[in-house]
Amino acid sequence: MILDIVIFLIVLFTFILVFILIGIYVIFFSEKLNSYLKKNKYQRWSYLTTFLGFGPGARNSARWMSYIFSKMDNKDKNIFLYKKKIKLGIKILFIILAFFILFLIFSILSLKTIGGLT
């Protein structure tokens, strides 16, 4: 039983660590894209970062995510590469999250099966 808990905690820690590292990767390239847009396509940056009348520079996640997954500005090589890296990171985050949820479900089910949970 102790070995099962240790293995569970190691896998749990690994999932969390990888999730955090991929999150940092996505944030890093999002900030690179944000600064590139501000410098080279100010109108687009202004539109993407305006939220509830606060003006440019705020975080508007809905506009930002729709922009990342759109084909808008994909002719610019730098924007295309930043968006590609961000999309890859987001997809990996969702895959890791799905595996993490499955891991938790199967861990709980196996504990119930061997009598660990009542």
CA distance 56 to 74: 22
pLDDT tens per residue across span 40-93: 999 999 998 888 777 787 778 888 999 999 999 999 999 999 999 999 999 999
The first and second tokens of residue 26, run together, are 């996505």
* End-to-end alpha carbon distance in the chain: 15
**pTM for the model:** 0.82
